[in-house]
Structure 1
Amino acid sequence: MGSLLAGSLAKTIGEAFNGLFLPASLVRDLPQIGEDPADPLPPTQASYPCKAIVEGYSDYFKANNLVNASDRKVLILATSIGVKPAAGDRVTISGITFTLQDVSTDPAEAVWTCRGTM
């Protein structure tokens, strides 16, 4: 069951922050099914346009080894993308690509918060 805050609140937040988030692209590897399981085909890629911003982690997170020096917080506006981001996905924003490690959301399911590694 989804959050009671999801839906109209997420839409309101999406409309309010749409201008602040930058154009981005999420890329996901999708497996291909071949005829021979012993000779798997390379994955194909699906690309999803979205709106995102990048933030650095605080000194507290870095000093306590909670994140790596190359980690950044990638925030994706949930109303701007049709899929749920997942670990292993890649997000490119302003020409920099981040590989997602951890993905969470807020109670309104308005913003995906991801730990991305450069």
Structure 2
Amino acid sequence: MSILDGLAANISDAMSDVFRDSILNVPGHRISDNQGGWKAGEPTSYPCKALVDDYSDYRRAAVGIPANDRMILILGHGLPVEPQPGHTITAEGRDWQIVSVSRDPAGAAWEVQGR
């Protein structure tokens, strides 16, 4: 048994009061429109806990992050899907398009760039 085995659950329990209720929206799979094209299927929504924050000026300049983009931290414990570019998240009263995703080594949270 590794020390990392229960870390995601422990961090989620400790931080759930700080993070706010949010919804991760995953677009539906492409389905045929019966005319030779495709259309999006029904999206699926997953409740989660997230926190919207600003990037530092240094990080914005170093990586080239636009001024209107925000950093969104999503607690990973209990979320059955991984956030991906193209998904959206409803956090703090606004819908954010996910542009990029990274995960911490313990698997406790995702950091997404929201636009």
TM-score range relative to shorter protein: 0.7 to 0.9
**What's the TM-score, normalizing by structure 2?**
0.88
Residues 1:102 and 2:81 aligned together: no
Query: Is the contact between residue 71 and residue 116 of structure 1 (CA under 8 Å) also seen in structure 2?
Result: yes
Residues 1:55 and 2:33 aligned together: no
Q: CA RMSD in A?
A: 1.9
TM-superposed deviation, 1:34: 2.7
Mapped partners of 1:35, 1:70: distance in 2: 36
Partner letter of residue 93 of structure 1? A
TM-superposed deviation, 1:56: 0.2
- Compare 13-22 and 60-69 and name the one that shifted more: 60-69
The residue correspondences of 1:34-113 to structure 2 (distance < 5 A) are 34=32, 36=34, 38-64=36-62, 66-113=64-111
Mapped partners of 2:52, 2:37: distance in 1: 39
1:11-38 Cα deviation digits (max 9, x unpaired) = 1111110111000001111124337361
Aligned residues: 114
**What's the TM-score, normalizing by structure 1?**
0.86
Query: Is the contact between residue 10 and residue 110 of structure 1 (CA under 8 Å) also seen in structure 2?
Result: yes
Q: Secondary structure at the match of 1:41?
A: strand
Could you tell me which residue of structure 2 aligns to residue 31 of structure 1?
A: 29
Partner letter of residue 114 of structure 1? V
Q: Secondary structure at the match of 1:62?
A: helix
Mapped partners of 1:35, 1:6: distance in 2: 46
TM-superposed deviation, 1:78: 0.3
Query: Is the contact between residue 31 and residue 40 of structure 2 (CA under 8 Å) also seen in structure 1?
Result: no
Structure 1 gaps of 5+ residues are none
Query: Is the contact between residue 6 and residue 110 of structure 1 (CA under 8 Å) also seen in structure 2?
Result: no
Mapped partners of 2:96, 2:63: distance in 1: 19
Structure 2 gaps of 5+ residues are none
Partner letter of residue 11 of structure 1? A
Partner letter of residue 92 of structure 1? T
Query: Is the contact between residue 27 and residue 40 of structure 2 (CA under 8 Å) also seen in structure 1?
Result: no
